[in-house]
Each structure stands twice: as structure tokens, then as C-alpha cells.
């Protein structure tokens, strides 16, 4: 099941009843996000030496203005993957709580992190970034930022004993435009093979096994009956079969 942003609209027949309307398809499946959450939980446990439950909420499309505000107010850890790019956002409160937990202290949001605390926070951010591989694919060195069609925001919630929220923004790359289609003038001289079906017959397997040269097979149609002109498996015209000069021919009655 693909994750989609869910909106609501009034039912066309009863304004009192609301029905779900899926606005647009998002690029990730629920199982992929669940895999990310499990991977992140394992990597965070390695960094903090404790088990932390991790859950990821369904994503929403993020406007450019909100994205700029989030990035300006957070420490960002960019992930460049084969399938997608992402950014992990740690706000000030999250960084303070991670540092305080690592050193068994009370979190204080009114002070700067020490160099040692900053290294712990960076390891924490790197662990989350590495855990996004189920969605991003194999991570690689950062490249020139590709054009972004839209950004999808997921909220990553880490439970006891941290109780913090981490923002994860996936950058959906713009797709490479399709090659120009061939114009009709290019196809004008291309030969195509057509075939005519005059009728059908139903016979048992024993009759088929006993066929010999000169046998007659009775079709389930009348003489001069309706026939179809086919291009590959698809009928393109209806008419009747006959003879024109020294050749078998097909007379078109109507196009299908």
C-alpha cells in the first residue's frame, strides 16, 4: 500500500458524511518506512548503549518555505542515496537531550554544547542518516544537489528514555523527461503485417490428431460471413473476405 496524503471532502449526496480523498501518491510504502525505523533503532542503540523505541509517522508534502525554516533552526545531516536523498534535522532540544543522556546529566537548553557533546550528537545524527538506507538506497558521497520536484517530511519519534522528535525530509528528485515521441512522418514507410480471421471452429482433440491433407473443417460461420482485419492481436476493421483478381482480399465495412 502506497502512502498518500489524506484529505477529506463532503460526500456528493450527503454533506453530513465525509469520505476520504487521496490527494497525491507519495514515493514511499509503509513497509519501507517501517524498515527505516527498525534500522535506525538498531544504530541508535549502538551509539547510546540503550534500547530506544522508534516510530515514524506517515509523510506529508513539505512546502519550500517550511523547509527553509526547518533547516535554518536545526542541525542538518544530509544523506545522498542511489534511490533518493534525505536530510535529518535535529533541533536544539533534541541535541540537548541526546547529549545529556549520553553523559547522564539533566538537559539544559540554555547552554552551548561542548566539543565532546557535539561529537556524540553528530554520531547520533549519522546513525539516523545511515538508517535511511531502506528508502534512500546505498549511501554515497554528496554530489551536486539535483533538481527537487518536492520534499516529503516524516516525523521520527524516539521514545523512552529520550522522548525526542527528529525530522526527516526526503527530497524527491525530478524525473528525467521522456525522449520526444516519434512523429507520424517517421512511421509512414514502416511496413506492418495484418491478418484476417474469417471464422472459428470448435473441434475435439481426437479430431485434430486425425487431420489429414484434404480434410474439411466446418467453421461456425456462414459463407461470406463477417470477418475481422487484425494488427497483431487487436482487430482494427470489420468486413468480409473475398477475391480480387488473382488474390485473396478483404473488404472493409467499418473501422473498429
Return the closest-CA partner of residue 81 out of 135, 43, 30, 117: 135
Return the closest-CA partner of residue 2 out of 37, 34, 24, 28: 28
Q: How far is CA 249 from CA 187, 189, 218, 232, 239, in A?
A: 25, 22, 21, 18, 11
As given in the structure block, the three cell numbers for residue 202 are 470448435
Range of the domain at 161: 27-173
Average pLDDT over residues 55-84: 88
Percent of the chain with pLDDT over 90: 30
Tell me, what DSSP letter sits at residue 22? E
- Residue at a domain's end among 110, 143, 173: 173
CA dihedral 61, 63, 68, 71 (to 10 degrees): -10
The verdict on residue 151 lying in a domain is yes
Q: Answer yes or no: do 50 and 117 share one domain.
A: yes
The whole-number pLDDT of residue 42 equals: 94
- Residue at a domain's end among 130, 145, 173: 173
Q: Answer yes or no: do 135 and 48 share one domain.
A: yes
Q: Answer yes or no: do 164 and 201 share one domain.
A: no
Q: Answer yes or no: do 209 and 168 share one domain.
A: no
pLDDT in tens, 110-147: 678 889 999 999 999 999 999 999 999 998 876 666 67
Q: Answer yes or no: do 168 and 201 share one domain.
A: no
Instruction: Read off the CATH number of the domain in which 130 is found.
Output: 3.40.1550.10
The verdict on residue 167 lying in a domain is yes
The verdict on residue 106 lying in a domain is yes
| Integer Cα distance of 18 and 9 in angstroms | 6
| Integer Cα distance of 139 and 62 in angstroms | 23
pLDDT at 179 over 90: no
| Beta-strand pair 164-173/148-158 | antiparallel
The whole-number pLDDT of residue 124 equals: 96
pLDDT at 17 over 70: no
| Integer Cα distance of 82 and 136 in angstroms | 6
Which helix H or strand E contains 134, and what residues bound it? helix 133-136
User: Which residues have a Cβ under 8 Å from the Cβ of 57 and sit 6 or more positions away?
Assistant: 154, 155, 156, 157
pLDDT at 21 over 60: no
Percent of the chain with pLDDT over 70: 80
Instruction: Read off the CATH number of the domain in which 222 is found.
Output: 2.30.330.10
Q: Answer yes or no: do 40 and 120 share one domain.
A: yes
Q: Answer yes or no: do 67 and 126 share one domain.
A: yes
The whole-number pLDDT of residue 40 equals: 95
> DSSP 3-state assignment of 166?
strand
| Integer Cα distance of 133 and 191 in angstroms | 49
The verdict on residue 5 lying in a domain is no
Q: How far is CA 211 from CA 185, 194, 215, in A?
A: 47, 27, 7
Residue 106 — very low, low, confident or very high, per pLDDT cuts 50/70/90?
Answer: low
Higher pLDDT, residue 181 or 86: 86
Q: Answer yes or no: do 75 and 131 share one domain.
A: yes
Counting Cα atoms < 13 Å in the Cβ hemisphere of 3 gives: 18
- Segment among 24-28, 71-75, 178-182, 239-243 with least mean pLDDT: 24-28
The verdict on residue 71 lying in a domain is yes
- Residue at a domain's end among 173, 201, 225: 173
Average pLDDT along the chain: 81
Higher pLDDT, residue 242 or 121: 121
User: Which residues have a Cβ under 8 Å from the Cβ of 240 and sit 6 or more positions away?
Assistant: 224, 225, 226, 227, 250, 251, 253
Residue 186 — very low, low, confident or very high, per pLDDT cuts 50/70/90?
Answer: confident
- Segment among 68-77, 140-149, 174-183, 240-249 with least mean pLDDT: 174-183
Q: Answer yes or no: do 99 and 41 share one domain.
A: yes
Q: Answer yes or no: do 141 and 197 share one domain.
A: no
The verdict on residue 9 lying in a domain is no
Return the closest-CA partner of residue 160 out of 80, 33, 245, 55: 55
The verdict on residue 21 lying in a domain is no
The verdict on residue 20 lying in a domain is no
Q: Which residues pair with 80 in a beta bridge?
A: 85, 140
| Integer Cα distance of 251 and 242 in angstroms | 7
The whole-number pLDDT of residue 222 equals: 65
The total of structural domains in the chain comes to 2
Q: Answer yes or no: do 34 and 128 share one domain.
A: yes
- Segment among 15-19, 31-35, 192-196, 245-249 with least mean pLDDT: 15-19
Q: Answer yes or no: do 88 and 166 share one domain.
A: yes
Residue 22 — very low, low, confident or very high, per pLDDT cuts 50/70/90?
Answer: very low
Amino acid at each position: 500500500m502506497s502512502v498518500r496524503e489524506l484529505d477529506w471532502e463532503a460526500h456528493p449526496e450527503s454533506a453530513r458524511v465525509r469520505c476520504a480523498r487521496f490527494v497525491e501518491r507519495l514515493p514511499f510504502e509503509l513497509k519501507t518506512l517501517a524498515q527505516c525505523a527498525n534500522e535506525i533503532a538498531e544504530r541508535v542503540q549502538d551509539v547510546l548503549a540503550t534500547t530506544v523505541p522508534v516510530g515514524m509517522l506517515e509523510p506529508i508534502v513539505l512546502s519550500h518555505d517550511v523547509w527553509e525554516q526547518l533547516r535554518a533552526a536545526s542541525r542538518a545531516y544530509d544523506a545522498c542515496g542511489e534511490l533518493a536523498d534525505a536530510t535529518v534535522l535535529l533541533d536544539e532540544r533534541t541535541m540537548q537531550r541526546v547529549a545529556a543522556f549520553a553523559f547522564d546529566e539533566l538537559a539544559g537548553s540554555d547552554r552551548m554544547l561542548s566539543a565532546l557533546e557535539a561529537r556524540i550528537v553528530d554520531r547520533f545524527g549519522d546513525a539516523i542518516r545511515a538508517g535511511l538506507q531502506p528508502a534512500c538506497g546505498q549511501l554515497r558521497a554528496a554530489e551536486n544537489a539535483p533538481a527537487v520536484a518536492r520534499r516529503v517530511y516524516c516525523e521520527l519519534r524516539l521514545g523512552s528514555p529520550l522522548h525526542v522528535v527528529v525530522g526527516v525530509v526526503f527530497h524527491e528528485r525530478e524525473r528525467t523527461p521522456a525522449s520526444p515521441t516519434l512523429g507520424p512522418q517517421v512511421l509512414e514507410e514502416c511496413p506492418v503485417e495484418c491478418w484476417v480471421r474469417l471464422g472459428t471452429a470448435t473441434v475435439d482433440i481426437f479430431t485434430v490428431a486425425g487431420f489429414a491433407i484434404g480434410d474439411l473443417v466446418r467453421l461456425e460461420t456462414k459463407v461470406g460471413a463477417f470477418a475481422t482485419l487484425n494488427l497483431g492481436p487487436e482487430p482494427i476493421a470489420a468486413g468480409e473476405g473475398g477475391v480480387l483478381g488473382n488474390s485473396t482480399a478483404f473488404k472493409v465495412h467499418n473501422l473498429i
